[in-house]
Amino acid sequence: MVGQGVVLMLAGMGIVYVFLVVLIIVTKASMGFIANFNSILPQDAPKKKLPAPSAAGDDADVALAIAVALNG
């Protein structure tokens, strides 16, 4: 009974190992295949982020909120 369990365990681990090897091969092959189409559909350059708005207006809003909270 234990021998059958060990055989079953080794068979399962072998199947998983073979699947992972095939997965790596297919992934690398698809990367090479898709790289051929990069000239047809190039990726857009990342857009620049807009600068954050100045904090000058925020100070007035914070002061107003504090005044309203204190005077209830």
Give the model confidence (pLDDT) of 14-43 as tens digits.
999 999 999 999 999 999 888 888 778 777
- Residue 13: band (very low, low, confident or very high) from pLDDT cuts 50, 70, 90: very high
- Residue ranges per structural domain of the chain: 1-41
Q: What is the DSSP string of the chain?
A: -HHHHHHHHHHHHHHHHHHHHHHHHHHHHHHHHHHTTTTTSPPPPPPPPPPPPPSHHHHHHHHHHHHHHHH-
Among residues of the chain, what percentage have pLDDT more than 90?
50
Q: What pLDDT is attached to residue 53?
A: 62
- Residues 55-63 have a mean pLDDT of 74
Residue 44 has pLDDT above 70, yes or no: yes
pTM beyond 0.75: the answer is no
